[in-house]
Amino acid sequence: MYPIIHTALEVALSVCGASRDDVPVSVQFSGSFYIKMTSGVVRATLSSMSKLRALIIIGADGFIGSFLDRHFRQVGWMVHATVFNRPPRNGEIRLDVTYPADFDPLPTGLPLINASGLPDQGASADLMRKVHVGGIRNLISWARRTDSPHILHLSSISVYGNATVGTGRTEAATRRREWNPLTASLPYGRTKARAEALLERSGLPWSALRLPAVYGPGDSFFTGQLRRLLENQGRPLPPGGEKSVSIMPIDRVGPLMEAILCHGPLNAALNAVGASLPWKLILEAYADAWNLPLQYDSRRRFRDFLNFADPGRQMAAYYAAFGADFPDEVLRKILGWQPGGDWRETVREAAAIFSSPVIPEEAHPF
């Protein structure tokens, strides 16, 4: 009996992340037989015995989705993965979210993480509506037919529209911007916001995480833009940078998703960040990783804010002047979650991929 109990407890720990440092308790199994364990393990054991350790990940071939796929497989979950940008392999399913029938082969009764979406923020507004809005409609329709227990949707801080810069952008203080004259030119965030609203009104069990820039090995938007920005020796960086910018290391996303699945549907869209740091500090970490100098301009250049041809410089101008801070205390309080780890180490891992001067022009990871 001891080995069975021990195995069950270890499985519970791997599934729900219970801490061995929780409150010690004693559990009586029969007669005078007791085993000492912690309250966290008891909760996790009961939970793991009643739930199948399996889930669906849509978009497992993207930057974030591929890390999620790897994380859940490593901690022992059965993953049913869908891909779009490459041929399926190892039991994967090819799924185009814009085609309702593509959802039919998915297994039913399992929680689902939606990591799909158009990575290219320069895509047409029509294509963004088709993928972000049409895709979530198709997912909702399938989930209603199959009684999905939990849709965990990866959203973005871009849902705040023109308020994606600034500090203290909490969920309560910052409105989601589906459409207004200020967001008319921001179809990426506008369609992400619409997708969130549809999920919220669906009546399904759901959670949505508003992620900031997610970085790590293989990200091409945040790290790639910073490489191009810092390599441009002829132009100094926009001045400022004391205000905070929220970022998310890719290796923190998997444990966070796991914590939410163990908790159950939040039925809310919440900020989720790994760290909020002065913009200058982030630039210094990347510059150190690449051994590149930092030189700041003596004054702000209005043209940098309108430089749509150079997204990295435009991003740096806004972050340096206004910050981009999205507190996530609500999520942390609900889950008791802390990201942990060393954000600088993930910067070094991401920077190592971009050590050559030739950098691929790829897209935003979510």
Helical H runs in 180-323? 187-200, 222-231, 250-263, 279-290, 302-305, 311-322
Q: Are 239 and 320 in contact (CB under 8 A)?
A: yes
- Tokens describing residue 205: 């069990």
* Residues with Cβ within 8 Å of residue 251, at least 6 apart in sequence: 67, 216, 341, 346
Task: Delimit the domains of the chain by residue range.
Answer: 2-49, 52-353
In 3D space, the residue among 42, 53, 51 whose CA is nearest the CA of residue 19 turns out to be 42
> What's the pLDDT score for residue 26?
44
Distance CA 180, CA 134 (A): 20
Q: Spell out, as residue ranges, where the chain has pLDDT lower than 70.
A: 1-52, 178-185, 233, 355-366
> What's the pLDDT score for residue 352?
93
> What's the pLDDT score for residue 235?
86
> What's the pLDDT score for residue 143?
97
* Residue that the structure tokens 């399904």 belong to: 204
Q: Break the chain down into helix, strand, coil percent, rounded to 5.
A: 45, 15, 40
DSSP string over 108-158: SSS-EEE------TTS-HHHHIIIIIHHHHHHHHHHHHHT-S-EEEEEEGG
> What's the pLDDT score for residue 349?
95
Phi/psi at 134 (5° precision): -60, -40
Q: Model confidence over 224-256: pLDDT tens digits?
A: 999 999 988 678 999 999 999 999 999 999 999
Distance CA 316, CA 240 (A): 10
Q: Are 351 and 343 in contact (CB under 8 A)?
A: no
What's the maximum distance between 2 C-alpha atoms anywhere in the chain?
79
Q: What is the pTM of this model?
A: 0.83
Instruction: Find out if CATH 3.40.50.300 is the number for domain 52-353.
Output: no
DSSP string over 209-247: EEE-EEESTT--SHHHHHHHHHH-TTSPBPS---SEEEE
> What's the pLDDT score for residue 174?
86
> What's the pLDDT score for residue 366?
36
> What's the pLDDT score for residue 105?
96
- Tokens describing residue 52: 């199948």
